[in-house]
Amino acid sequence: MAIAKVMGTEIEYGITVRNDRDFDPISSCVLLVNAYREDHAGTILWDYDQENPLADARGFQVDGEKYTPNQQENIARNKTLVNGARYYVDHAHPEYSCPEVTDPRALVVHEKAGERILELSRREANEVLPAGTQMLIYKNNSDRKGNSYGCHENYLMDRRTSFKQIVEHLMPFFVTRQIYTGAGKVGSENRAQPCDYQLTQRADFFETEVALDTMVKRPIINTRDEPHADREKYRRLHVIVGDSNMSEYTIFLRNGATALVLSMIEDGAIGRDLSLRDPVRSIKEVSHDPRCTKELELQSGKRMTAIQMQREYLEMALKYTSGQALDDSTQGVLERWGYVLDRLAGDPRDLGREIDWVIKLQLIESFMERKGLDWESPQVQMLDLQYHDLRPSKGLYYLLERQGKVERIVTDEEITRAITHPPEDTRAYFRGQCLRKYGSEVFGVNWDSISFGIGDEPIKRVLMAEPLKGSKAHVEELLERSPTAVELVKNIRA
């Protein structure tokens, strides 16, 4: 039986400072992250000792040196938040890693809370910038100068499932799911074939099938083996092939369908061979085809469109779930998956309320028609970028949302609450509540541990190797009878 698909996302945001001739992305990111303040007191380190980014899921350790910042740099670049999230500087980008959740609807809530947190930070950071300059943040994946930055999805998987099987069944799924997960993009990059408009912002940047790297020679399937949980039982599938989405509907379907396929892989429920002859070529062909009619060549010699291949996965998912009592999220994923594929097979433009790349395409085409512009116009490229602007008053996606022109999955009230409250059904609850209650005594944090500095005693590290433990049901009573961190540690060990 497949294990629960605990999931999360890590979003790298685009950043610039308008009218700053000496713009330094790293110092701007540090300013942005530190502009966000919460009530809990204390200087908290991110615990890099618990990380090993050089471990490869294929069973070996890659040569290289693990980067560990000094204490001052660690504090300047990292914030762990009371909602269980991590907010930090990753290379030259601000990054928001949402807390662990158990279903795609909760994922939408907490990813959207991340957008709000970035915008709150941006406003505070602008207060200290020189007059005439302005910091801008974009939830997109390319700076149009050849640089791509990621949206990484993470899913908890059973360690007993062979990585070979995961690759075999996921490769065709990842190549073709972009017909509903793409954020849309004007033009091409990275020496890809020229095009006016494509489905995704990331496809042009994938150059190999399977590898560990995330920044050069990007693979469709990433092999990082860093579970942030009990290594004997779990793996964390680190997915780098997706776009940063604005549409709640797209985010929900992106994570929901992927989690369902992963459960099917664990349970041996994928009985069809959909292997592609050339996945790297195919991922670009799908992205460059807004009509969704391009036929891809399979290893078997058959030719199928991305829609037809996704229908194969959906049919297997419907069969897989037919005897199960489904929760609302899973039922919602199946219904929306079928709805989207039906509309794509008819006229993709019928998804102008749901799917990012279609919403953006219609917006741009309408603008071009009104202004008499073509795809080469700088104004069209600017409109593409403006769709991802995090300013509520300027971002085009938010404008459509206020006008009721896009489908919602969650409410503004849920998103606002998630800015300051962790999910209640994962270990993120314990992490967030410890920061809220014992902030001045928390020394260091990682996804699977929290350490306390209690007086002159050695650092006390509490391990959280089970992502579904540390939930409100598990620890609420423990936290209530532990007014201090000293008593908390004592009660845990009792």
pLDDT tens-digit profile of 295-351? 999 999 999 999 999 999 999 999 999 989 999 999 999 999 999 999 999 999 999
**pLDDT, tens digit, 9 for 90 and up, residues 447-466:** 999 999 988 888 999 999 99
Q: Are residues 190 and 285 in the same domain?
A: yes
Could you tell me which residue, 270 or 66, shows the higher pLDDT? 270
Locate 271 and state its tokens: 């009985």
pLDDT averaged over every residue in the chain? 95
**pLDDT, tens digit, 9 for 90 and up, residues 53-107:** 877 788 777 767 677 888 999 999 999 999 999 999 998 999 999 999 999 999 9
Q: How many other C-beta atoms lie within 10 A of the C-beta of residue 162?
A: 10
State what percent of residues in the chain have pLDDT above 70: 99
Find residue 14's DSSP bridge partners: 138
Q: Are residues 257 and 335 in the same domain?
A: yes
Domain of residue 177: give its range.
7-38+81-417
Q: Are residues 247 and 99 in the same domain?
A: yes
Give residue 41's pLDDT band: very low, low, confident or very high (50, 70, 90): low
Query: Per the domain annotation, does 64 fall within a domain?
Result: no
Q: Mean pLDDT, to the nearest integer, of 377-391? A: 97
Number of domains in the chain: 2
Q: Are residues 115 and 182 in the same domain?
A: yes
CB 223 within 8 A of CB 53: no
Q: Which of 383, 417, 451 is the last residue of a domain?
A: 417
Query: Per the domain annotation, does 57 fall within a domain?
Result: no
Catalytic positions are: 90
Q: Are residues 374 and 385 in the same domain?
A: yes
Query: Per the domain annotation, does 230 fall within a domain?
Result: yes
Q: How many other C-beta atoms lie within 10 A of the C-beta of residue 456?
A: 5
Q: Which of 390, 417, 444 is the last residue of a domain?
A: 417
User: CATH number, domain at 273?
Assistant: 3.30.590
Q: Which of 417, 450, 467 is the last residue of a domain?
A: 417
Locate 32 and state its tokens: 């942005």
Q: Are residues 158 and 176 in the same domain?
A: yes
Q: Is the pLDDT of residue 40 over 80?
A: no
Residue 248's closest CA among 110, 450, 93, 439? Answer: 110
**pLDDT, tens digit, 9 for 90 and up, residues 159-208:** 999 999 999 999 999 999 999 999 999 999 999 999 999 999 999 999 99
Alpha-carbon distance values, 242 to 127, 185, 416 (Å): 34, 13, 25
What pLDDT sits at residue 51? 82
Q: Are residues 189 and 273 in the same domain?
A: yes
Q: Are strands 218-222 and 206-211 parallel, antiparallel or unpaired?
A: parallel
Measured N-to-C along each axis, helices 328-346 and 163-181 cross at an angle, to the nearest 10 degrees, of 60
Rounded CA-CA distance 451/461 in Å is 4
216's CB contacts (< 8 A; 6+ apart) are: none
Query: Per the domain annotation, does 43 fall within a domain?
Result: no
**pLDDT, tens digit, 9 for 90 and up, residues 300-314:** 999 999 999 999 999
Give residue 47's pLDDT band: very low, low, confident or very high (50, 70, 90): very high
Q: Mean pLDDT, to the nearest integer, of 414-436? A: 98
Cα-flanking dihedrals φ and ψ of residue 180, to 5°? -125, -5
Q: Are residues 467 and 329 in the same domain?
A: no
Q: Mean pLDDT, to the nearest integer, of 259-277? A: 97
Q: Is the pLDDT of residue 372 over 90?
A: yes
**pLDDT, tens digit, 9 for 90 and up, residues 205-250:** 999 999 987 777 899 999 999 999 999 999 999 999 999 999 999 9
Query: Per the domain annotation, does 280 fall within a domain?
Result: yes
Query: Per the domain annotation, does 484 fall within a domain?
Result: yes
Residue 224's closest CA among 87, 62, 4, 65? Answer: 62
**pLDDT, tens digit, 9 for 90 and up, residues 405-419:** 999 999 999 999 999
Rounded CA-CA distance 465/178 in Å is 33
Q: Are residues 389 and 471 in the same domain?
A: no
Alpha-carbon distance values, 459 to 187, 228, 455, 476, 494 (Å): 53, 20, 9, 23, 18
Find residue 237's DSSP bridge partners: 155
Query: Per the domain annotation, does 209 fall within a domain?
Result: yes
Residue appearing with tokens 């896009």: 406
Q: Are residues 448 and 376 in the same domain?
A: no
Q: Are residues 410 and 471 in the same domain?
A: no
pTM over 0.75: yes
Q: Are residues 267 and 304 in the same domain?
A: yes
What pLDDT sits at residue 65? 67
Query: Per the domain annotation, does 53 fall within a domain?
Result: no
The one-letter code for the residue type at 226 is E
Residue appearing with tokens 């408009």: 197
Q: Mean pLDDT, to the nearest integer, of 375-383? A: 97
What pLDDT sits at residue 26? 96
